[in-house]
Structure 1
Amino acid sequence: MYKKLIILVFLLASTMAVKAAPNTAIAHKKVGTLTKAVLTYPSSPKLRSSIALIYDEQEQRPLFSKNANAIVPIASITKLMAAMVVLDAKLPLEEKIAISAIDSDTLKNTYSRMRIGMTLTRGELLNLALMSSENRAAAALARTYPGGTKAAVAKMNAKALKLGMKNTHFRDATGLNSGNTSTAHDLVKMLSAAQHYKLIHKYTTTESHMVAAPGFPQLRYGNTNPLVRNASWDIGVSKTGYINEAGRCLVMHTRIMNRPVIIVLLDSHGKYTRVADAKRIKKWMESAMTRTPDKNI
């Protein structure tokens, strides 16, 4: 009787173990399954800029590319590199700098509201160069760089190489020189680096700034990118540019659908094309379909 009882218990335990085994396998499968959102984009966005690149930083890949390897003038996009070089040098931002006749544009003869003799801090000049693309501000920053403008431009080229921007070359700090050239792919690398500078984020996304230089009337400067004033955009870095040879340009590090994206638009024809293209990109990304396949790890 005792032996029969032991055999019965043993058989019962074996039956329970067999029934439990499939459940254990299913649980393991569930733990080892990842659900990852995958965005499927519709047909390519209809952009009017001659050169365009949409780069998804999260996936580390281009979502759209148009003439992205073309080496072209980049106008005032140059000022982002000039700003990084100035900030890398850790020069005192509160130091007063007087605008000189040397800072005037003798290449394109562009107009500037900044008057010769105005004295502003290096920080204010950096703000105006990035936010409002003020050429005299950028020229003054390069002139007062250790070693002068020549040294500043040399440092800009050296940093470009360090960032892997092999098809980029700078000849001045303002972007007025059409010899300042790059590719959309290279500019993605520059935007990736620029986003890590807190002041570049702050100044490129500032909507406006009042300048009060002793002895001169107050001046209000606005951001050259109207999208920074649009609450539907989450912009981390922004820069516009324009000279005849480059057309109208716009680069941004932004977030769309909570994804970090770099947008490069070069040689846009027409005053509003670059901004309209940026809006088209945002709408295109927001129209993406989401699917969630299971992926075993």
Structure 2
Amino acid sequence: MPSAPAEAAGARRAVKKQAHGHVVKTPRVAKSFQGGRAQVAKSRRAAVVRAAPPRPSFGQILGLHGTQDDLDLKSSVALVIDQDTNEVLLRKNDSAVLPIASLTKLMTGIIVSEAKLPLDETITITQDDVDTEKGSSSRLKVGTTLSRGELMHLSLMSSENRAAHALGRTYPGGMAAFVSAMNIKARQLGMKDTQYVEPTGLSSRNQSSAHDLALLVSAASGDPMLREFSTSPGRMVDVGDRTLKFNNTNRLVHNPVWDIGLQKTGYISEAGQCLVMQAKVAGRKLIMVFLDSAGKLSRIGDAERVRTWLESAAPKLKAGGDTVVRRVN
């Protein structure tokens, strides 16, 4: 009979690696006592641990990530526009229509703001606000009661899905009326490539293009409340007998180098990492759109790359010299 150390060595040798996971053979050891002697009875069970491959984004499926650009952007779609002159400074796959994730919440904010609903009215989170699309979690438990203004703030600053859903649910006429208002407003703004089916962005059927999102950012940036709520670094919120700290999902709002007037982040697997901003760079008020970026921090890196490029080009821009618009299709 093999010794206990030999058993352990045999178990270690039984570990086998496969291309898409690990097959691990582990011994099951039971101790029995018979005639004063401890006997080890062993059995082996093969346990297969497989890592599910990440779901590809729509941009990956369409092959947009194969597009190269001079700035080495990680976003498959990008658009940078001077808000005052409408001059396009950078474009990359800007006509592609893709899921937009929580960028949706900018339109949610516009609809609530323009409806002039009382911001101090209290709204209770219900089971209807729980995400059944992606199964995402939330710090706003069912039964939590907050003002409409607080829900707006958390939706735009921290991308709180239950907050955004509750805003749509409590709109006059209910959710159907709210989604209809979202799509009507999109048409009014000239967003021809855009459709909304719900107010959070969890559905991949909420889709738009970079050009349409630039129109949305321009419109939202004209609302002082949306500017304030979307750029707040953080907020303490009383939830029942607890006080919770909510932070901004965009770390650039903490960076003193950036002068951000409005922003919104977004992510679902179908959309990749997304970011839109209105910011002042090199003396110009710009609208930036980055969609379907690969990597959690890559959308931030893309914004930094664009800012560095524009600041280096600023003297030439001010002198009125020839400036090549970076375009990649």
Q: Is the structural similarity TM-score above 0.5?
A: yes
Return the letter of the residue paired with 1:76. Answer: S
State which of 199, 215, 218 in structure 1 corresponds to 2:243.
218
State which of 99, 103, 106 in structure 1 corresponds to 2:132.
106
Following superposition, the deviation at residue 56 of structure 1 comes to 1.2
1:237-276 correspondence runs (5 A): 237-276=262-301
RCO higher in structure (CA 8 A, sep ≥6): 1
Q: Is the 8 A contact 1:132 1:224 kept in 2?
A: yes
Return the letter of the residue paired with 2:319. Answer: T
1:17 aligned partner:
none
| Residues 71-91 of structure 1: per-residue CA shift (max 9 Å, x gap) | 000000000001000011000
1:51 maps onto 2:57 in alignment: no
State which of 48, 72, 88 in structure 1 corresponds to 2:114.
88
Q: Is the 8 A contact 1:248 1:270 kept in 2?
A: yes
1:123-142 correspondence runs (5 A): 123-142=149-168
State which of 206, 209, 233 in structure 2 corresponds to 1:180.
206
Using the aligned pairs only, state the percent identity. 49
How far apart, in 1, do the equivalents of 2:205 and 2:157 lie?
A: 23
1:63-74 correspondence runs (5 A): 63-74=89-100
Q: Is the 8 A contact 1:129 1:135 kept in 2?
A: yes
Structure 1 runs (4+) greater than 6 angstroms displaced: none
Return the letter of the residue paired with 2:204. Answer: S
TM-score under structure 1 length normalisation: 0.83
Q: Is the 8 A contact 1:44 1:64 kept in 2?
A: no
Cα 1:293–1:142 change in 2 (3 A) is closer
Query: Pairwise CA RMSD of aligned residues?
Result: 1.3
How far apart, in 1, do the equivalents of 2:175 and 2:107 lie?
A: 14
1:203 aligned partner:
229
Cα 1:293–1:190 change in 2 (3 A) is closer
Please state which structure has a larger fraction of its residues in strand: 2
Following superposition, the deviation at residue 268 of structure 1 comes to 0.4
1:28-43 correspondence runs (5 A): none
Task: Name the SS for the 1:265 alignment partner.
Answer: strand
Following superposition, the deviation at residue 214 of structure 1 comes to 2.6
Return the letter of the residue paired with 2:270. Answer: E
1:156-195 correspondence runs (5 A): 156-195=182-221
How far apart, in 2, do the equivalents of 1:279 and 1:164 lie?
A: 29
1:6 aligned partner:
none
How far apart, in 1, do the equivalents of 2:309 and 2:285 lie?
A: 15
How far apart, in 1, do the equivalents of 2:122 and 2:319 lie?
A: 56
Q: Is the 8 A contact 1:49 1:277 kept in 2?
A: yes
| Residues 74-109 of structure 1: per-residue CA shift (max 9 Å, x gap) | 000000001000011000000011110100001100
- The structure having more radius of gyration, on CA atoms, is 1
1:282 maps onto 2:295 in alignment: no
2:319 aligned partner:
292
Equivalent pairs counted in the alignment come to 251
Task: Name the SS for the 2:239 alignment partner.
Answer: coil
